[in-house]
Chain A
Amino acid sequence: MTYKIVASQCTSCSACEAECPNVAISEKNGTFVINPKKCTECIGYFDVPQCVAVCPVDNTCVIDNSYPRYQPSA
């Protein structure tokens, strides 16, 4: 799994971009997107995914179940 941003909820405030420890978030067509290849769900970095923690709009950064759970490399 990774996190994704619900475009219809996103206010494009950019608060998440600077907080992502993996530099996985960028602006695309006026809204922000998470690169699933880079998202680690913040496992091993923080207790809570930083995009979720900083996002001012509830239920905007959510889990994307279409990807397998991130596995920290051994």
Chain B
Amino acid sequence: MDDSRSFDTYEAEPASPQLDDIMQKIAEHKGCGTSGGSGKASCGSGAGSGDMPQEIWDKVKNHPCYSEEAHHHYARMHVAVAPACNIQCNYCNRKYDCANESRPGVVSEKLSPEQAAKKVLAVASAIPQMTVLGIAGPGDPLANPGKTFKTFELISEAAPDIKLCLSTNGLALPDHVETIKKFNVDHVTITINMTDPDIGAEIYPWVFWKHKRVTGKEAAKILTDRQLQGLEMLTANGILCKVNSVMIPGVNDDHLVTVNREVKSRGAFLHNIMPLISSPEHGTVFGLNGQRGPSAQELKALQDSCEGEMNMMRHCRQCRADAVGLLGEDRSAEFTTDKIMEMEVNYDLSARQAYQEKVEEERQAKVAARNAELETLAGANADIKILVAVATKGSGRINEHFGHATEFQVYELSSSGAKFVGHRRVDLYCQGGYGEDDALETVIRAINDCHAVFVAKIGHCPKDDLIKAGIDPVDQYAYEFIEQSAISYFKDYLARVSSGEIAHVARGDADIRQGAFVAVDA
């Protein structure tokens, strides 16, 4: 038996047990590939290829949505060319755009395929680390096949280095697998929330199928059959498939473990379980019925319980259908249609490649620093896990002021190292609309399960309040690499626990902020 599984129990850790109990001797270092269970999955979509076949790793390593590590370095964009949809979801209100896949309350600017192609070239010229173009709505890309594939055609001619991907509900997927192959789309995301039609009937009021509106269980049966068939066809053709699921407490939360097994057995390589967005003001059926979304702890527990089966994605921002830039940094406001049409575009492939080479150098330095720090943790003997929040603008460094952070990235620290487990969006502390004190309270609620918050800089007042709330504000690692710093902090934490200076106390739950990622002019 692999004893690394016992590391999953930190939430249940007693508040101040005997030192002997918490400092459990574990002889060997548990790094990537040397242990099964939880250690294995933390590497899969993380920093290294881990247990992924090499050909899949080659495809995903520079894809911000597929590789947790790449999302610090590479950017993606979505073009909103696909307004029409062929199913209705209870978490979506068409009148306000799709609440779960793009920003609620704002109708995305619809683009023609020609406008979309121009936008891609303009953005790729301005943001050299932009490597991925996705079509994700606001409707379903495959309910708009003409516009979707025309856009792919134009972009593959003008910018052949950009990877193409699309996101679909799967209803029309089996009809388009050949075309997806033809345009060299090697990344497809299918949103699969159930494989049981009884549960599906609670999520989908209707689907439009063979010229008819079908409702209830029959609709859910058609949808799940088509989704799984499409998934099988894609993976049989060597096209990489990710599965998105929306976690709806009391509806499909327990069932998603089954969904995870079903999609894994059909060759999906990554599963992204997202929290339901259901504020009443979005006007969705779930929002109006008072259906709640999951808490941070519930989401993490479900992701952890699926992790033994396959790689789990934890860094999803539920981006808008017209998002631009790094994940967690939406630059779409800089690239509106008016601005794009006036821009002079000079698409310079060699300049982009030169920039990306520099990114790779930085990335390798980061991994080397992390590994070196991890070496010093080898033989550390604690059965303790803690969460820490990090303020970062990307590049894998702690490079953001506490007051400028619109989100914090959360890492779980254990003697295996630092593992990314999620992100928490917050209101800007410096620009809180309700006064600074209220804004700080929402920040604390969002990271309440963390022991520390790493920042480039922080003022005295928030520092004192964080300490009062039991969260350690850490600015000593400003501008250094996240993982290396976190491991160093954890070593120090363990040393203080074992010397008796501090007692290890488990933290509480945290809030997930409602709504998709929204651009803020900081």
Contacts and interface: CB of A to CB of B under 8 A. Distances in A.
Interface in B202-258: 208, 211-213
A43 to B, nearest CB: 14
B211 A12 contact: no
Interface in B142-178: 143-144, 146
A33 to B, nearest CB: 16
Given A15-B139, A18-B84, A54 B213 contact: yes
A19 B211 contact: yes
A50 B211 contact: yes
Contacts of A14: 83-84, 139, 144
A56 B94 contact: yes
Contact count band on A: 10 to 19
B352 interface: no
A13 B212 contact: no
Nearest to B213: A53
A12 B212 contact: no
Interface string A33-60: 0000000000000111010011011000
Contact of A13 (B84, B146, B211, B213): B84
Nearest to A27: B110
B212 A15 contact: no
Contact of B94 (A13, A18, A47): A13
Given A18-B84, A54-B86, A11 B211 contact: no
A65 B83 CA distance: 29
B88 interface: yes
Nearest to A17: B84
Given A15-B86, A18-B84, A48 B94 contact: no
A15 B85 contact: yes
Interface string A1-31: 0000000000111110111000000000000
A11 B508 CA distance: 42
Contacts of A18: 84, 144, 146
B95 interface: yes
Given A19-B211, A48-B213, A56 B144 contact: no
B196 to A, nearest CB: 24
A35 to B, nearest CB: 19
A56 B211 CA distance: 14
Nearest to A16: B84
Contacts of A13: 83-85, 94, 138-139
Contacts of B107: 11-12
Interface of A: 11-15, 17-19, 46-48, 50, 53-54, 56-57
